[in-house]
Structures are given as C-alpha cells and as structure tokens.
Amino acid sequence: MKGKFYPPSFPAGLKEEKIVLAHGAGGMKMHRLIKNIFLKYFGNKVLERLEDAAVLSLNGKNLCFTTDSYVVKPLFFSGGDIGKLAISGTVNDLAVLGAEPKYISLAFVLREGVKLATLEKICASVARTAKRAGVEIVTGDTKVIEAGEEEIYINTSGIGIRRQVRLGVEFVRAGDRIVINGGLGEHEAAIALARGDYRLRARLKSDCAPLNRLIAAVLDCGGIKLMRDPTRGGLATTLNEFADRSGLGFVIEEESLPVPEGVRGVADLLGLDPLYMANEGKVVVVCARETVEKILKAMRRYPEGRKARVIGEVVKEPAGVWLRTRLGSLRRLLMLEGEQLPRIC
C-alpha cells in the first residue's frame, strides 16, 4: 500500500428509544435497527445474508425474491417519479443478485384527496418502466388512509430467475477492481432541487433507471464477484457493507470518482457528501482484474453505463473503506451514521 492511513474509529451507538427518520436512511442506524430488532426475531440463514434480494431454491430453480417501499417526496422530480423509482429499484435489487427479473407486485397506499390524474400519471410511468425492463405487474393492492397532503406510497415485491453465477463477498479477493457505471449522487441532488426549499437551480436529473439489461451484459463478461446498487447511504455505505462482511479493505481513488458538477454544487451548498448521496441508476461491481476492461466495454454500450470507470481496488489491509486523496493519503470512510436528506426513495 502506498500513502498514509489513519487508524479506524467507529462511533459508539447512541442510546435509541424511538424511531427517527435516520433509521430509514440506509446507514448505521438502520443497520443497528435490523440487527437489534428484525434479525433478533426473524433471523434465518437467508435473511442474515442481508442481500438486496433473498436467493431461494424451489423445484430445482434458483429464484431471487425482494420487496421494497417507496415514500419519496415529491412524487415527481427531474428524471423520474415514484412509479419509475419503484419499478427500477425492485428490478435492480434482483439484477444485482444475478437474477433475470420477471414478475412484480404493486401495492398503493393513497391519501384521501389524491387526484386521479396524479395516480394515472404515476401508473403510466410504472407501465413504461416495466415494459422497458421486461417485467410484468402480476398482482397488487390498494389502501386509502385519511386526508392530508397529497401523498402516494408504493410497495413493490419482485421475483426473478437467477442465472448460474457465483456472487458474494466470499468470492472477493485482494487485487479485485471496483467499478461504477457513472456519476454519483444524481438522484439525491435531483430530489433536493425538486423540493424547491433551497432556491437552487442546476441542470441535472435523477439517474433513476432499470439496470437489468446492462447487468446481464456485464455478467456475460465473467469475473464478477459482487454487485450492489448504492441507493440510500450512497457509495461509501455500500462499500462499508462489503468491507464488514469480507474483512478486506476497499480503497477508492478521489481522482477517479465521477461526481457531476451539478451534484458537487448542490452538495457544497447543502453540506452533503456525494460519497453518501443516494443513487437509483448505479451499480457497484467488484470484479477480477483480468476482466475489468471487458466489463467497462460492455457497460459503455448502454446509456446508463457510458461513463463507467474503475474507481478503486480491494486490498488485504488495511481493512475497511478508504479514500485515497489527491495528496496520496488515505482517509477512512465510515458508514453513514445519521441521514442526509429524508424520503429520497
């Protein structure tokens, strides 16, 4: 390892007695909630892997099964809406586990007073995104709750058929490369702008998109060890999940990180860190060094992967997640503890 590094320091967990917004932000608080409450009562071998989707064997076939809820505010934003977000998120959670997404359930919770035109616009977006991803909506549910601000919440579950792949932290080795398919933080920055609370203007839009076709092309290249879509908590939190489970070090290069100017401007003004900002159309791939150029070439054939690049490597030590700065020193990146913006997905 070249450069300096600082000893790791994990912040102690504060005493928590009530749910706060940060428990849903994808960071340390959410992980403590999962470990201390959900796994305490529901833990089993499948759930304890804490993957984006469960890998299940049924009648000789490997299936992936996932579920997610969407509470984004506002419902419409540059580059997408809650309907596009829900289908894309579910498709991507299946795809990163090596599955071909097939069927999706769609459940709405509607506030009394929601305009039918608003609901129809969202349903049209759901249909377009599902068609693009090649999935079918096969079941659903609708509930209506008391009147208030015009809000719609969506829950989706998805099933996909898993390819014959070997994906997981147990396959990651020192020397593997870390790849991402494009710019960081675009979704969270777009949501910040759409809320209109900060009088900000920038030419950017959410990266929200289904990635299953891009991911299938990447898997055809071989050498893929691990994939994840870095949504809540961003790239730094996703890599911390990899590091915690593998015991290895994940070093990313500051000079290689793709942070669009618009995102950087929003982040600077609001005090956000792009490494922790949410993405909804990105995939982080850990792959063998020998196949990385082939993977980059495959990604760049798709609109969502034209800016694909190598951003770092896996090392034996130091363990954890590290940012190699432009000066050559290493800065420890911990998992997001609190939250940046609430209700971003």
- The confidence score (pLDDT) of residue 13 equals 54
Burial class (CB in 10 A: 0-12, 13-18, 19+), 209: buried
Per-residue pLDDT tens over the stretch 132-170: 999 999 999 999 999 988 899 999 999 999 999 999 999
Instruction: Using the predicted structure, report yes or no on whether residue 112 has a pLDDT greater than 90.
Output: yes
C-alpha distances in angstroms, 2 versus 18, 322, 327? Answer: 44, 12, 11
Position 133 scores a pLDDT of 98
Mean pLDDT of 83-90: 98
Dihedral of alpha carbons 332, 326, 230, 81, sign:
positive
Phi, psi of 228 (to 5 degrees): -160, 145
pLDDT exceeds 50 at position 292 = yes
Q: Is the pLDDT of residue 335 over 60?
A: yes
Q: Is 74 exposed, middle or buried (0-12, 13-18, 19+ CB in 10 A)?
A: middle
pLDDT number for residue 297: 98
Report residue 84's pLDDT band, with 50, 70 and 90 as the boundaries.
very high
Distance linking the first and last C-alpha atoms of the chain: 37
Q: How confident is the model at residue 10, as a pLDDT?
A: 40
Query: Mean pLDDT over residues 173-202, rounded?
Result: 91
The answer to whether residues 335 and 27 touch, using CB atoms and an 8 Å cutoff, is yes
Q: Tens digit of pLDDT for each residue in 250-275?
A: 999 999 999 999 999 999 999 999 99
pLDDT of residue 238: 96
Tell me what pLDDT residue 14 has: 55
On the question of pLDDT at 246 being above 50, the answer is: yes
**What is residue 19's three-state secondary structure?**
coil
**143 alpha carbon, distance to own chain's centre:** 27
The model's pTM? 0.92
List, in sequence order, the alpha helices (H) in 44-198. 82-95, 116-133, 186-195
Residues 218 and 181: their CA atoms lie apart, in Å, by 11
What is the average pLDDT value for the chain, to the nearest integer? 93
| 233, 277 Cβ separation under 8 angstroms | no
